């Protein structure tokens, strides 16, 4: 019967191999003694993906996209599937593990080892292990009870034992096997298999079946042709058939109920079969031998039918497929499982796969509802057997016969074997963690790496200690503490080190604070938490500490140890972060499904005005990712990174939305490389992280070096000039939002940096403007001009008029006027506040230059050191200076209406914010009015524009520069303003005000070389573009 | 040229350090350095790095080539080839010496690296001697010295030149009639 047994493929080097299918049955996954895991898309896959996991691989198991392998380095490792990225180490033994297996849901892994132990490890928390001791020789194989209650293991000591997992006790044990001293010497691998009721144990040439609970032997399966010991057994997904592979290469499939052998195949070379797996849909068996070859037994149905063609309709050997269709029905009686009727549709269609999620299917031809059954199935078969049409034809005919005759099973009666839930699966919630720490199970690990320093934890045989080291030795010298309490979480700030340990049976969970910056002699305090409450996450802010506990309480302490507020969290905490007066809390909002986490975030503000800034909104993570870092930028903007490497920053000017600012994975060279975040700085724009080759986190030795990544907003078409500039502009806007926040919460800000940023933004806008002008996109140009400050709009007007775009220039001048009016509308309210503001600024002005330039590299210290709460909250600070107007700008859509003349006159004292043209207009308005006394306001302006254009270029430039020179220093401006108000009081005459202005303008332009230079540069740019 | 002079030149090479202090950009004749942020790597000349290291103000990040595996590769190549192979840095010997003497605690496997670099050095110097020997014995007029570092040229320069002069003197003495005068020219 060559049609079913496909030719074997060379897969691995000679030696022990293992095989399994992925959940959907799309891939065959094999491992071998060459240390590779290969992922085959089919047997014909000429280029299987290879993952090297060690020197030798003894066993593998795959479920839920996690590939678990037992390698020769005595570990059980996890890799992601199908990517193959290392995902940590599940557990270790003192010698190699011999067999590993998943439980049905994939939440646990059992591993048997040559050190006589069986371990049951929770997939999502490898620290929760159960060890089953009792065997007195290396373990041969392990298998889970499908109901997850028991575990069976076979050992070289000759016994097969059943364990109760929770109690870690042996329930029963049978001395069935021959004794041997090691796995390689054992006669059979004795791979056990468990189907809900029956445990199959290969004993010599037979398979013995034991009943669950009663643990009595209920049957023996044997085959007359089988002369050599059976190595491996596997149940079909429907539980109806049992496949076995033997030393001599004999593959046998039994129908368990009738105990009849329905399929028999011999290995083409007679090598020992050591790995055997059923396709999750049945119908296909993959097997590997000790020579490293992979084989597939395919289309089991056609095999039996073709073998029975001679027997025609009276055949006793019916198609395996028909068997399988019947199986659910009969099993329904056999195993009185309930509540699964609604799910029978897909399953009745020949797929006996329980607990399978049809949504995951890629090849779902077999999942069409139960209508037109024969046709559908033939399509399925066609798919399976496309290689040999001859036998397929026969098989098909046979099938139609079968369907027409008595064997058609009632579709409605078909029911799966155990409760099937095929909706979205809940994601195990991610555990609480400290951002900037490496996993707790490591012996040497970083407990915290932040912008202040590094806390390392050592927990090995000789030593249990904590090292604290500061990046800046000026903060404090390095510390070495003995970790007698077993602290597991830590945080570090400029003021203190905060440590916490989980509680044990005798001792309560403790919070310890080393307040090294304290001025008294007592630099340490400790707090015991109430019994049963464990610290899960903690953080330090400026002058306070916070700890989130397992009782869903967030406790605040002062840095000196005074207990402060406490409040309840809406869900189990994931992590918390502090900065200055801000506290960021991320917790589980609910259960996530299909790999997603459902996290919520709260941002609280302490200090003068206590409030909640973000009220438990969902935290936007990437698809199927979890949170991997949470914190603040050095400037105090909340920021987080998910496991996909996407960095998101809170955009306070956009209603506290999270904006993706970088994908660290884009910078990785290898697929399994990651960046481990240690800090984010907005000015300069830096993501400080540690490149980790082939892992998610760095080892403590050799000491990793920090790398700096740039920010990059994921805007469209960043390869084009336009896209690049847009990205730069919005990045600049986003990353300078913190100025607004800092000043509004009463901190000093680096004004130099701020004006620098604005200059940069305006330059970018101007460039974009020029670009869109060149591309004849006038509407877009106006849109860009709306984002500009008024001064730059003037330049834009000139650029437009130079390049002969009169319509554009006209619109822009309207816009400029609008902006000017808007600015004037804001100013009167600010005047009252100006006095105290100016005082604050002057007061700190001298120190600011220094801290500003040092703030160029802004570490937390610098920011915090120079932050002092000013007594008055200068809410309107930003809008007071002309150059900062853009921060509170919004796209201004109001059409320009003619304004009452009086208002314009009233406001005319603020002309220094206007363009050269407007200055000129002020001067020449009377002349225009005199010439055309009956003109409306808009007409006056039009006329004025016309006249202004007739001026020589030099004249216009002088006007513009005069306008520029006047919008210089803020303080100067105010002085002048007051002076002018007096002037106005004396006399409303324009000419005198003009004189003052002119003389002052000269003064300013001489004194304030810098702003002048900038505008000159900008205007030069505008001209050059022309 | 004195070896110390070569070393002086080598001190201009840039090396990465991780400072443990904070300092703004410093403006020197040779160029601007910094800014220095605690914990963040920054490139500085070796002389500054060593100075800061001696004052315990920084950790030095060893250059990329100062790695056992890479040096082993270079050593094998050097041994295999008859000609000089390219070295990882034009000042590899000086840098190794300086960094290992002053900052061996920041360099993993310092001893192995020292041995490896010494091996490479020895191989190269042996090659140099050999080629000098064949240069003289075959009475060549010129030789190609690719991939030689300043320090290596320096070790052999004075010796080789003096020897050549000496030999010239001896040879010219052999020829009768032109004894003193010519030899004097070459002094």
- pLDDT tens digits, A315-334: 333 444 444 444 444 444 44
Alpha helices in A87-136 (DSSP H): none
Q: What is the DSSP string of A10-32?
A: E-SSSS--EEEE-TTS--EEEE-
Mean pLDDT of A872-884: 38
Contacts of B57 in chain A (CB under 8 A): 473
Query: Where is mean pLDDT largest: A76-85, A368-377, A536-545, A815-824?
Result: A536-545
The predicted-structure confidence for A250-293, as pLDDT tens digits, reads as follows 888 888 888 888 888 888 778 888 888 888 887 788 888 888 88
Contacts for A997-1004: CB closer than 8 Å, 24+ residues apart: A997/A911, A997/A912, A997/A966, A998/A962, A1000/A966, A1000/A976, A1001/A962, A1001/A965, A1001/A966, A1002/A965, A1004/A965, A1004/A966, A1004/A968, A1004/A969, A1004/A972
pLDDT at A579: 92
The predicted-structure confidence for A203-242, as pLDDT tens digits, reads as follows 888 888 888 888 888 888 888 777 888 888 988 888 888 8
Three-class DSSP category at A586: strand
Interchain CB contacts (distance < 8 Å): A and B: 52
A985 confidence band (pLDDT: 50, 70, 90): very low
Distance CA(A867)–CA(B100), nearest Å, equals: 43
CA triplet A583, A548, A574: central angle to 5 degrees? Answer: 80
Query: Where is mean pLDDT largest: A344-353, A386-395, A590-599?
Result: A590-599
Q: Which of A153-162, A373-382, A444-453, A617-626 has the least mean pLDDT? A: A373-382
Residues of chain B with pLDDT under 70: 176-187
Could you tell me the strand order of the sheet in which B42-45 lies? B42-45, B14-19, B58-61
Query: Where is mean pLDDT largest: A10-14, A396-400, A846-850, A924-928?
Result: A10-14
| Percent of chain A's residues with pLDDT above 70 | 71
* Of A673, A676, A639, nearest in space to A656 by CA: A639
Res A656 pLDDT > 80: yes
Distance CA(A300)–CA(A240), nearest Å, equals: 14
Distance CA(A873)–CA(A744), nearest Å, equals: 7
Q: What is the DSSP string of A753-778?
A: HHHHHHHHHHHHHHHHHHHHHHTT-H
Q: Is A1006 on the interface with B (CB under 8 A)?
A: no
φ, ψ (nearest 5 deg) of residue B24: -70, 175
Give the one of A453, A472, A706 whose C-beta lies nearest to B22's C-beta: A472
Res A459 pLDDT > 60: yes
Give the one of A473, A705, A853 whose C-beta lies nearest to B41's C-beta: A705
Looking at residue A451, the DSSP 8-state letter turns out to be S
Contacts of B59 in chain A (CB under 8 A): 703
Three-class DSSP category at A268: coil
CA triplet B176, B178, B180: central angle to 5 degrees? Answer: 115
Distance CA(A83)–CA(A94), nearest Å, equals: 29
Query: Cβ–Cβ of B20/A473 closer than 8 Å?
Result: yes
The predicted-structure confidence for A792-836, as pLDDT tens digits, reads as follows 888 888 888 888 888 888 888 888 888 888 888 876 655 444 444
Contacts for A411-415: CB closer than 8 Å, 24+ residues apart: A411/A344, A411/A348, A411/A370, A411/A373, A412/A344, A412/A348, A413/A329, A413/A332, A414/A325, A414/A328, A414/A329, A414/A332, A414/A344, A414/A347, A414/A348, A415/A328, A415/A329, A415/A332, A415/A337, A415/A340, A415/A341, A415/A343, A415/A344, A415/A347
Distance CA(A852)–CA(A868), nearest Å, equals: 15
Res A841 pLDDT > 60: no
pTM of this structure: 0.53
Is residue A36 within 8 A of residue A51, CB to CB? The reply is yes
pLDDT at A385: 39
CA of A111 vs chain B CAs: smallest distance (Å): 36
pLDDT at A404: 43
Sort strands A535-540 and A544-549 into parallel, antiparallel or unpaired: antiparallel
Give the one of B25, B37, B59 whose C-beta lies nearest to A859's C-beta: B37
Tell which wins on pLDDT, B176 or A759: A759
Find which of B23, B33, B39, B69 to mutate to test the A interface (most A CBs within 10 Å of its CB). B39
Query: How high is the ipTM of this complex?
Result: 0.79
φ, ψ (nearest 5 deg) of residue B119: -60, -50
Three-class DSSP category at B40: coil
Look-up of token digits 């500009």: A788
* Of A618, A614, A530, A544, nearest in space to A574 by CA: A618
Measured N-to-C along each axis, helices B68-80 and B110-137 cross at an angle, to the nearest 10 degrees, of 20
Is residue A56 within 8 A of residue A15, CB to CB? The reply is yes
Res A777 pLDDT > 60: yes
Query: Cβ–Cβ of A705/B37 closer than 8 Å?
Result: no
Instruction: Give chain B's contact residues with A (Cβ, < 8 Å).
Output: 16, 18, 20-22, 24-25, 35, 37-41, 56-57, 59, 61, 108
Distance CA(A48)–CA(A46), nearest Å, equals: 6
> To the nearest 10°, the Cα dihedral for A183, A188, A194, A199?
-120
Q: Which of A18-32, A499-513, A831-845, A938-952 has the least mean pLDDT? A: A831-845
Distance CA(A96)–CA(A76), nearest Å, equals: 9
pLDDT at A713: 92
Average predicted confidence (pLDDT) for chain A: 75
Res A365 pLDDT > 60: no
Tell which wins on pLDDT, A354 or A581: A581
Query: Cβ–Cβ of B20/A472 closer than 8 Å?
Result: yes
Give the one of B38, B41, B61 whose C-beta lies nearest to A859's C-beta: B38
- Burial of residue A434, with CB atoms counted within 10 A of its CB: 0-12 exposed, 13-18 middle, 19 or more buried: buried
φ, ψ (nearest 5 deg) of residue A715: -80, 165
Tell which wins on pLDDT, A372 or A622: A622
The predicted-structure confidence for A501-553, as pLDDT tens digits, reads as follows 998 888 899 999 999 999 999 999 999 999 889 999 999 999 999 999 999 99
| Percent of chain A's residues with pLDDT above 90 | 20
Element (DSSP H or E) covering residue A301:
helix A300-307
CA of A854 vs chain B CAs: smallest distance (Å): 6
Q: Is A473 on the interface with B (CB under 8 A)?
A: yes
A930 confidence band (pLDDT: 50, 70, 90): low
Res A709 pLDDT > 60: yes
CA B150 to each of CA A617, B123, B130: distance values in angstroms, whole numbers, following the listed order: 65, 16, 18
Element (DSSP H or E) covering residue A577:
strand A573-579
Is residue A924 within 8 A of residue A975, CB to CB? The reply is no
Calculate Rg over the CA atoms of chain B: 22
| Cβ atoms < 10 Å from Cβ of A893 | 7
């Amino acid at each position: 019967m060559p049609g079913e047994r496909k030719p074997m493929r060379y897969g691995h080097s000679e030696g022990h191999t293992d095989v399994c299918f992925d959940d959907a049955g799309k891939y065959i996954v094999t491992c071998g003694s060459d240390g590779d895991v290969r992922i085959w898309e089919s047997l014909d896959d000429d280029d299987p993906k290879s993952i090297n996991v060690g020197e030798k691989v003894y066993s593998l198991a795959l479920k839920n996209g996690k590939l678990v392998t037992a390698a020769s380095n005595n570990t059980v490792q996890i890799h992601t599937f199908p990517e193959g990225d290392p995902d940590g180490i599940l557990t270790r033994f003192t010698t190699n593990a011999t067999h590993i297996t998943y439980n049905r849901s994939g939440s646990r892994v059992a591993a048997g080892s040559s050190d006589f132990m069986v371990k049951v490890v929770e997939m999502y928390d490898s620290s929760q292990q159960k060890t089953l001791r009792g065997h007195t020789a290396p373990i041969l194989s392990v298998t889970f009870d499908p109901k997850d209650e028991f575990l069976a293991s076979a050992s070289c000591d000759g016994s097969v034992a059943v364990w109760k997992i929770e109690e870690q006790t042996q329930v029963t044990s049978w001395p069935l096997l021959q004794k041997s001293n090691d796995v390689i010497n054992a006669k059979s691998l004795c791979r056990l298999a468990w189907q809900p009721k029956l445990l199959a144990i290969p004993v010599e040439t037979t398979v013995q079946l034991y009943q669950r609970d009663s643990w009595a032997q209920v049957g023996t399966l044997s085959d007359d042709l089988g002369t050599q010991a059976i190595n491996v057994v596997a149940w079909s997904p429907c539980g109806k058939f049992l496949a076995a592979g033997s030393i001599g290469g004999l593959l046998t499939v039994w129908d368990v109920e009738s105990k009849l052998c329905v399929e028999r195949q011999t290995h083409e070379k007679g090598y020992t079969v050591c790995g055997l797996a059923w396709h999750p849909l049945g119908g296909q068996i993959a097997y590997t031998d000790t020579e490293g070859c992979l084989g597939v037994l395919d289309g089991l149905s056609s095999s039996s039918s073709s073998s029975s063609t001679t027997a025609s309709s009276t055949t006793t050997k019916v198609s395996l497929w028909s068997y399988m269709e019947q199986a659910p029905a009969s099993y329904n009686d056999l195993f009185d499982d309930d509540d699964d009727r609604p799910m029978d549709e897909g399953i009745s269609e020949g797929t006996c796969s329980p607990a399978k999620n049809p949504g995951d299917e890629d090849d779902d031809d077999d999942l069409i509802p139960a209508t037109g059954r024969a046709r559908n199935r033939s399509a399925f078969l066609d798919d399976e057997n496309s290689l040999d049409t001859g036998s397929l034809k026969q098989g098909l005919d046979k099938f139609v016969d079968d369907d027409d005759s008595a064997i058609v099973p009632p579709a409605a009666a078909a029911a799966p074997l155990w409760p099937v839930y095929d909706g979205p699966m809940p994601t195990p919630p991610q555990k609480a963690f400290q951002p900037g720490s490496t996993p707790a199970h490591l012996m040497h690990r970083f407990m915290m790496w932040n912008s202040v320093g590094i806390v390392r934890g050592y927990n090995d045989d000789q030593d249990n200690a904590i090292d604290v080291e500061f990046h800046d030795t000026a903060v404090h010298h390095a510390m070495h503490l003995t970790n007698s309490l077993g602290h597991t979480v830590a945080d570090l700030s400029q003021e203190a080190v905060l440590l916490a340990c989980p509680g044990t049976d005798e001792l309560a969970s403790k919070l310890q604070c080393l307040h090294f910056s304290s001025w008294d002699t007592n630099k340490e305090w400790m707090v015991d938490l109430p019994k049963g409450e464990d610290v899960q996450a903690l953080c330090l802010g400026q002058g306070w500490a916070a700890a989130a506990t397992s009782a869903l309480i967030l406790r605040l302490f002062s840095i000196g140890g005074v207990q402060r507020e406490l409040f309840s969290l809406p869900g189990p905490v994931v992590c918390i972060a502090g900065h200055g007066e801000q506290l960021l809390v991320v917790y589980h909002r609910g259960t996530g499904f299909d790999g997603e986490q459902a996290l919520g975030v709260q941002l609280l503000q302490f200090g003068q005005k206590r409030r909640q800034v973000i009220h438990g909104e969902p935290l936007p993570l990437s698809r199927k990712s979890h949170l991997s870092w949470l914190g603040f930028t050095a400037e105090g903007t909340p920021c987080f990174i998910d496991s996909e490497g996407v960095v998101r920053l809170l955009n306070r000017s956009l209603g506290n939305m999270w904006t993706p600012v970088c994908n660290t994975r884009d910078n990785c060279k290898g697929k399994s490389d990651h960046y481990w975040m240690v800090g984010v700085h907005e000015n300069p724009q830096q993501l400080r992280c540690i490149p980790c080759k082939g892992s998610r986190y760095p080892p403590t030795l050799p000491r990793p070096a920090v790398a700096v990544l740039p920010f990059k907003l994921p805007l469209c078409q960043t390869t084009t000039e336009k896209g690049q500039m847009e990205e730069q502009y919005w990045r600049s806007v986003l990353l300078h939002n913190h100025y607004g926040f800092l000043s509004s919460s009463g901190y000093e800000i680096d004004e130099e940096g701020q004006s620098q940023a604005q200059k940069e933004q305006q330059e970018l806008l101007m460039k974009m403007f020029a670009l869109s002008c060149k591309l004849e996109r006038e509407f877009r140009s106006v849109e860009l001009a709306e984002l500009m400050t008024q001064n730059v709009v003037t330049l834009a007007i000139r650029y437009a008029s130079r390049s002969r775009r009169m319509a554009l220039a006209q619109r822009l001048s309207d816009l400029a006027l609008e902006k000017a009016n808007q600015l004037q509308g804001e100013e009167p309210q600010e005047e009252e506040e100006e006095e105290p503001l100016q005082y604050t600024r002057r007061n700190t002005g001298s120190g600011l230059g220094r801290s500003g330039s040092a703030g160029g590299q802004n570490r937390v210290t610098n920011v915090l050191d120079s932050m002092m709460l000013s007594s008055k909250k200068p809410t309107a600070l930003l809008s007071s200076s002309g150059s900062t107007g853009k921060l509170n700008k919004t796209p201004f859509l109001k059409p320009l209406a003619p304004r009452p003349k009086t208002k314009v006159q009233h406001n005319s004292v603020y002309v220094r914010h206007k363009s050269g043209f407007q200055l000129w207009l002020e001067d020449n308005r009377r002349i225009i009015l005199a010439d055309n006394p009956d003109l409306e306001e808009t007409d006056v302006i039009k006329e004025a524009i016309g006249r202004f254009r007739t001026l020589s270029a030099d004249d216009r430039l002088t006007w513009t520069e005069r306008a520029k020179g006047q919008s210089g220093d803020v303080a100067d401006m105010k002085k002048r303003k007051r002076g002018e108000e007096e002037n106005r009081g004396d006399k409303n005459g324009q000419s005198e005000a003009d004189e003052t202005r002119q003389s002052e303008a000269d003064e300013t332009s001489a004194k304030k070389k810098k702003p002048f230079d900038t505008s000159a540069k900008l205007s030069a740019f505008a001209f050059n573009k022309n | 040229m004195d070896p110390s002079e070569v070393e002086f030149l080598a001190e201009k090479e840039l090396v990465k350090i991780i400072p443990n202090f904070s300092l703004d950009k410093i403006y020197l004749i040779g160029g601007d350095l910094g800014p220095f942020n605690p914990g963040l790597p920054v490139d500085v000349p070796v002389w500054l790095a060593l100075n800061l290291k001696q004052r315990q103000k920084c950790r030095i990040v060893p250059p990329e080539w100062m790695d056992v595996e890479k040096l082993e590769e270079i050593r094998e190549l050097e041994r295999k080839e008859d000609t000089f192979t390219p070295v990882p840095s034009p000042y590899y010997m000086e840098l190794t010496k300086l960094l290992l003497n002053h900052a061996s605690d920041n360099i993993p496997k310092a001893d192995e690296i020292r041995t490896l670099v010494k091996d490479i050095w020895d191989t190269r110097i042996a090659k140099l001697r050999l080629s000098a020997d064949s240069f003289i014995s075959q009475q060549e007029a010129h030789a190609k010295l690719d991939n030689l570092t300043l320090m290596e040229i320096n070790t052999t320069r004075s010796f080789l030149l003096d020897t050549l002069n000496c030999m010239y003197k001896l040879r010219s003495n052999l020829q009768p009639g032109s004894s003193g005068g010519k030899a004097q020219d070459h002094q």
